[in-house]
Structure 1
């Protein structure tokens, strides 16, 4: 009986670990781009759409198009770090453009690599 309980517990722990791990697999295949907000974006209902040039740390440039769910535009001159999966359907169809992002976060100017900051001026 004790062996059976130990076996079931270990099996449960392994199963839960696999489930948790699978939710993070996609994060290994994402790309990071840096953009600088220029202009106010285009207002669409309760959101704003932006089309900006973005750069990976290796200097590769892509057009990044995304929509925020905020009722106010992002302040002009703000740097954003955007994560996107290039293998998602919409992004595969347009290799020079990312239109489906995973998320974005505001970053300080000093956290943006210098060579990218130069390209975003």
Structure 2
């Protein structure tokens, strides 16, 4: 009986540790594709030193490989708006929101997503 209890406790500890490790390593998220259709909303936040910098915020739909939609809210982190008509691959995490984005060619966008974007 004692060996069984030790084994059960060890199993529970390893299971929770494995789930936590999975969550940490799987931080990335799901890839969504979007097409820039506006110049975004200009924002001018300040850093801790009081310096003002220009940024652009976007709020638009994105589509995954199967064509499922997700509202994506992200900042461009550039002093100028993104090019209208540009295609982006956006990494979306359910807990953190948009964690990364990169420009891609239209040919790199999956067919179900392209059909919804045009």
d(CA) in 1 for partners of 2:70, 2:98? 13
Q: Structure 1 unaligned runs (5+)?
A: 1-20, 89-99
Structure 1 match to 2:85: 77
TM-score by length of 1: 0.67
d(CA) in 2 for partners of 1:38, 1:110? 18
Q: Structure 2 unaligned runs (5+)?
A: 1-20, 45-53
1:26 deviation in Å? 3.0
- Alpha carbon RMSD of aligned pairs, Å? 2.0
Structure 2 match to 1:36: 35
Contact 2:66 2:112 in 1 (8 A): no
1:68 deviation in Å? 1.4
TM-score by length of 2: 0.68
d(CA) in 1 for partners of 2:105, 2:31? 15
1:99-114 to 2 correspondences below 5 Å: 100-114=97-111
Structure 2 match to 1:86: 94
User: Which structure has more helix as a fraction of its residues?
Assistant: 1
Give CA-to-partner distance per residue, 1:4-35, whole Å, 9 cap, x none. Answer: xxxxxxxxxxxxxxxxx98x7034x5111001
